[in-house]
Structure 1
């Protein structure tokens, strides 16, 4: 972990460093930065989503305060502002970010369409920053939180204000957004952020979605769009935010709980067993993450600061394994 974290945090964080980074990191691994600095606004910036393009080794980070999108390379310690915010393409805020196999960048707008009626709920950009689509869901009060690219190449976005998932797809240059799943009657909407983090099941036949305010996971069948509860054995997943899946491993970033939980998922995503719950830094609120060359790139949101002050950072962790 970074020098900043080693100095500013207590012994629990030092233990986390040993657990997450490990004693046997290779020279090549150690050569990469352990923190990545983001540029921010003079009045303070807060961040949330992250996407990663394995082909180009680029990562993308969203800024909630303004909607800017930042981009960086794994071997460079500094990211740059890639897309302007403050109303650019109708974007005043941004949340989840992901990248598809063609390098297209998808951005979830959070409350963008709520706070600015008529403004888009989501955007899609080409690798060179050209706007490909700016879409509204057509659903009132939609808060688009996070997204995953499905095995069909479409993007699936969660709605934190209702138990819904939106599907965004392109055909012959035309982009469409549909309400792919609506689990009203199955998933109870509670106060706070409901559906958020989203990942694929190991067999790629379902979506696994976090409901962070109540600490539950849900499975959405990709064939039927039907939602069922994931059996987690009573694991404490309150404040579940970002989800990262690799094989049978599922990492859950629990923002204000300041925990990184590791679960073992069944192949179909119907059940999960808690393997470990590792404390994260007491002075950071980590939100979403992506796996990049064996490390988790995790966003330090600054959500715990009334007025955020730099440094603004993405941190790199070696995730615990099951």
Structure 2
């Protein structure tokens, strides 16, 4: 092969590789479309399965769970709502290492006495568990998977965290922590977003109505206030943690706050507070392939109208 032919071949290969890279990048949309009901739909929670690239979004108006893929622009209804498995509404969603999907029911058991407060599904959509906490007036909000493989779920109506676990195919839920006397409840939504501390020895929980963060020790279940040096975290909803970075989605404040979290989760310092889209009320997020997938709740609309979307944010900018 001549030098000229070799140069032409290399140039063509580079062009093709560039086109391939561009196509691969283009395969990740900036927004994801969610299905909804004709009368209007609202949304809140999101879970992400890094092994499959699937994300799961909860619909508060009906309890449907939608599933999408990070390389596809459109999600589909994965689990029906409107009473399916006793589910009329849904809030937090998370996925464990086995691909099992946990769904928190918010006020499902309050509005429908005797109905479940939470559900666990297999990756194939099979119902594995539908559980009640046994605690009156419990509003199950957000979920984190602990180092022990159990799910920890916040109660927005009381300073409590529930623990959901499975042993030999049998599922159970218990009140793992009760911080009554330490965490003072106030009007509105109290405990909400929940993540692990960087050292994985504690849970860090948002109390959005008063703008506080709380640390729950995983060994003792004791709650202590996180020292945030007076950072404004009012309307803190979803939390996302990666290493020592903590992102706080502040729904009706329409701000994404970034903090540096100490290894043990006992303190945090505000790094930035950046406005989000003024036309969206964002609730919670998951980190997926370097981007935040954030739920546009439609909570600011009396009757929600499409488009229904999950948007993406570059958290490092």
Equivalent residue, structure 2, for 1:116: 112
Instruction: Quote the Cα distance in structure 2 between the aligned partners of 1:193 and 1:318.
Output: 28
Q: 1:285 aligns with which of 281, 287, 296?
A: 281
Instruction: Quote the Cα distance in structure 2 between the aligned partners of 1:134 and 1:27.
Output: 42
Q: 2:303 aligns with which of 299, 307, 321?
A: 307
Instruction: Quote the Cα distance in structure 2 between the aligned partners of 1:78 and 1:142.
Output: 33
Q: 1:91 aligns with which of 87, 106, 117?
A: 87
Equivalent residue, structure 2, for 1:193: 189
Superposition deviation, residue 320 in structure 1: 2.7
After superposition, the C-alpha distances for 1:194-233 in whole angstroms (9 at most, x for unaligned) are 0000000000000000000000000000000000000000
Alignment partner of 2:116: what SS? coil
Q: Does 1:260 align with 2:243?
A: no
Q: Does 1:173 align with 2:181?
A: no
Equivalent residue, structure 2, for 1:230: 226
Instruction: Quote the Cα distance in structure 1 between the aligned partners of 2:258 and 2:313.
Output: 13
Alignment partner of 1:267: what SS? coil
Q: Does 1:242 align with 2:238?
A: yes
Equivalent residue, structure 2, for 1:271: 267
- The answer to whether the 8 A contact 1:164-1:182 is kept is yes
Greater RCO (CA < 8 Å, at least 6 residues apart): 1
Equivalent residue, structure 2, for 1:33: 29
**What TM-score results when the alignment is normalised by the length of structure 1?**
0.91
Superposition deviation, residue 28 in structure 1: 4.5
Residues 107, 169 of structure 1: CA spacing in aligned structure 2 closer, same or farther, 3 A cutoff?
A: same
The structure with the larger Rg is: 2
After superposition, the C-alpha distances for 1:219-252 in whole angstroms (9 at most, x for unaligned) are 0000000000000000000000000000000000
Superposition deviation, residue 178 in structure 1: 0.4
Unaligned runs of 5+ in 1: 1-24
Instruction: Quote the Cα distance in structure 2 between the aligned partners of 1:118 and 1:31.
Output: 44
After superposition, the C-alpha distances for 1:4-53 in whole angstroms (9 at most, x for unaligned) are xxxxxxxxxxxxxxxxxxxxx98744541000000000000000000000
Aligned-pair RMSD on alpha carbons?
Answer: 1.1
Equivalent residue, structure 2, for 1:317: 313
Stretches of 4+ aligned residues off by more than 2 angstroms: 25-31
Instruction: Quote the Cα distance in structure 1 between the aligned partners of 2:24 and 2:193.
Output: 31
**What TM-score results when the alignment is normalised by the length of structure 2?**
0.92
Equivalent residue, structure 2, for 1:101: 97
Aligned residues: 297
Unaligned runs of 5+ in 2: 1-20
Instruction: Quote the Cα distance in structure 1 between the aligned partners of 2:123 and 2:230.
Output: 42
